[in-house]
Chain A
Amino acid sequence: MEGKNIFRTKFDVASIVLIPACIGINYIGKLFASALKLPLWLDSIGTCLGACLGGPIIGGICGAANNLIYGLTTGDSITLIYALTSLFIGFFVGIMARAGFMKSFPKSLLTALVAGGVAIVISTPLNIVFWGGQTGNVWGDAVFAASQAASLPLWLSSLFDEIIVDVPDKIITLILTFIILKALPDKLTALYDADDEVERLD
């Protein structure tokens, strides 16, 4: 057996079935967040779970497919642009998880910071191109307006806007992912363990 490869992915039925479940979880997270009137999105719990279970490739697919499907079918076409952000969040969370950064609570906070950083780096240019730098979140846009009024450059204001919105969101998301992962039974997580060895009798 070759050495541990964090990009190793099983493309079996279990992994394919995981993708729509994760996309559904993203949707439920968003729904609960809006039902409880929380000022966060919480729409990437599924992507992070998919990434932790299936690895970076499945995580990336979950993220991109999530935005593409919602964008093309529920009329929220703005999310299409952010497919890129979701893809990279899934990818990097998957890498962190495979590298062992979802094993303990403090480590999962580090993963959250990585996810938040990825979201900021990818989303800020998209926000500038498509929305003139805003995010559509009240708190973030207030910061944007304030820093524009202080005549800071557009990219810096947009960056602040993103940081205010995305970092708390990703921290809560990864904490939830961590709690849920701990609650999952082993017989389920074993399905997605890419490093297991299959013993054949034939």
Chain B
Amino acid sequence: MKSISLYRDNGTWLCRVHPFTKLMYIAAAILCPPILGSLWAYAAAIVVDIIILVSAKSLKRAKNLIIFSFTIILTIFIIKGLFDAENATPAFAIGPAVFYKEGLMKALRTGAVIINMLLSFSILVLTSKPEDIADEMERHGFSPRLSYVISSVFSIIPQMMGTMDTITDAQRSRGMETEGSLGKRMKAFIPLITPVVTSSLINTRERAIALEVRGFGGKGKRSYLRTWQKHRGDKAMTISLAILIILASIWRVIVWLI
């Protein structure tokens, strides 16, 4: 069955880095630029994201993740450049449409925020297994119920997608049209989704019973199926990233005070 997770173990160092270290990196990459406030900070964060992705041989896959955002970033540039309320200095004109500097700068900032966020998250998403994240969260004191929810989603969705294909085939063979005008497609939605949803909800009943029988609600210490191989430098890296965020905040406060 096809998993919806984008994780793939390509054997590079990044796959062995602890998920929490990657989460800390995401926090640093996303928080530091707005704290520092400069566009250059965004540029720096994006460059670091790209260096990490290249070294883990994952840039190509990350590219697929961010490519969808380019259309929206383009429309942000067009709408802000043309119509933003603070527009005053014309930058350039294409035919009758005049683009303004203020709006374009705003759009550049929004675009940088989006790209930086997508890239830094793709570092975690492409190189960490969701089940590992869930396991590690449980080991660090999160509720086992939470980690069940996370890992269960990944086994339920492929199952539901299988049901979805079956239902679609069944309804098509009965002559239901899934293509054509918007009205037709709207009408097709209900007979397609209702059986999938109903059956998956009915399945929850049996799953609940099965889990209960296996001691899901039980209290007491639990053991783990998988163990995490420690990677050198995880702790040092996490701490230095935290210090980076604190330093950026201190710098911000000092700039305010002066």
Q: Is the CB of A131 within 8 A of B110?
A: yes
Question: A135's closest neighbor in chain B, by CB?
Answer: B72
Give Cα A49–Cα B198 distance, bound, in whole angstroms.
Answer: 11
Give Cα A36–Cα B188 distance, bound, in whole angstroms.
Answer: 8
Q: Is the CB of B194 within 8 A of A188?
A: no
**Number of residues of chain B lying within 8 A (CB) of chain A:** 67
B interface residues (Cβ-Cβ under 8 A, vs A): 4-7, 65, 69, 72, 75-76, 78-80, 82-85, 106-107, 110, 113-114, 117-118, 121-122, 124-126, 130, 133, 145, 148-150, 152-154, 156-157, 160-161, 164, 178, 182, 185-186, 188-190, 192-194, 196-198, 200-205, 207-208, 211-212, 216-217
By a CB distance below 8 angstroms, the chain B residues around A74 are 4-6, 125
Given contacts A24-B160, A141-B79, A176-B193, contact A75 B121 (CB under 8 A): yes
User: Chain B binding site: helix, strand, loop or mixed by DSSP?
Assistant: helix
**6 A-B interface contacts by CB (under 8 A):** A20-B152, A20-B156, A134-B72, A145-B75, A148-B85, A180-B193
Give Cα A153–Cα B85 distance, bound, in whole angstroms.
Answer: 8
Residues 134-193 of A at the B interface (beta carbon under 8 Å): 134, 136, 141, 144-145, 148-149, 151, 153-154, 176, 179-180, 183-185, 187-188, 191
By a CB distance below 8 angstroms, the chain A residues around B204 are 14, 17-18, 21, 188
A134 to chain B, nearest CB (A): 6
A1 to chain B, nearest CB (A): 23
Question: A37's closest neighbor in chain B, by CB?
Answer: B185
Any chain B CB within 8 A of the CB of A5?
Answer: no
Give Cα A193–Cα B161 distance, bound, in whole angstroms.
Answer: 29
B10 to chain A, nearest CB (A): 16
